[in-house]
């Protein structure tokens, strides 16, 4: 049996806005996240985890931030691409585990919607998608409220 694991990590700083997009869900907040696309830090980490499991580089190689075509793009486009690439390579995503690292906004109330959106995008059962959050105990850039980080692991199994 061919099983592959990949890890992803991403960071985005806060900028102007009235919400952050995490796992495809708009979470109300007094600031947004700055980035070339919609800055969905959690979805970017999951996408990179899938690319990593396939040894296919990272999101920036597939969707360069220097390309104006991807300006303000929904990160679902990137995740859909990674899942389709896995399928073309005869792998299926078995599960994903994502951790969002921030002091605020509070993530817990939005987790069911995040799982539902990721399930829709990836065609993966909700019970195979873990989304959780932690703080950094007021340490580092996330602790100072300067941005949000996310890390993810994806397991892929050969079809």
Q: Rounded to 5 degrees, what are φ and ψ at 14?
A: -75, 150
- The predicted-structure confidence for 10-25, as pLDDT tens digits, reads as follows 999 999 999 999 999 9
Answer CATH for 3-158 from 3.30.2270.10, 1.10.1530.10, 3.40.50.620, 3.30.1330.50: 3.30.1330.50
Which pLDDT score is estimated for 77?
97
User: Roughly what angle, to the nearest 10 degrees, separates helices 111-122 and 41-53?
Assistant: 40
Give the sign of the dihedral formed by CA 134, CA 135, CA 137, CA 142: positive
Strand 129-134 versus strand 91-101 pairing type? parallel
- pTM (2 d.p.): 0.97
> Low-confidence residues of the chain, pLDDT below 70?
none
The owner of tokens 């009235």 is: 18
- What residue segments make up the domains of the chain, in order of their start? 3-158
User: For the chain, how many helices (H) and strands (E)?
Assistant: 5, 7
The predicted pLDDT at position 1 comes to 87
């Amino acid at each position: 049996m061919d099983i592959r694991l990949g890890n992803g990590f991403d960071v985005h700083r806060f900028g102007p806005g009235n919400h952050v997009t995490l796992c495809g869900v708009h979470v109300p907040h007094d600031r947004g996240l700055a980035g070339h696309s919609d800055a969905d830090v959690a979805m970017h980490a999951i996408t990179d985890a899938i690319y990593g499991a396939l040894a296919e580089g990272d999101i920036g190689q597939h969707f360069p931030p220097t390309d104006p075509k991807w300006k303000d793009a929904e990160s679902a486009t990137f995740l859909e691409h990674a899942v389709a690439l896995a399928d073309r390579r005869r792998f299926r995503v078995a599960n994903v585990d994502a951790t969002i690292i921030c002091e605020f906004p509070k993530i817990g109330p939005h987790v069911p919607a995040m799982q539902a959106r990721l399930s829709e995008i990836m065609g993966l059962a909700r019970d195979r998608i873990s989304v959780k959050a932690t703080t950094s105990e007021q340490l580092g850039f996330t602790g100072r409220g300067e941005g949000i980080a996310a890390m993810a692991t994806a397991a892929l199994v050969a079809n």
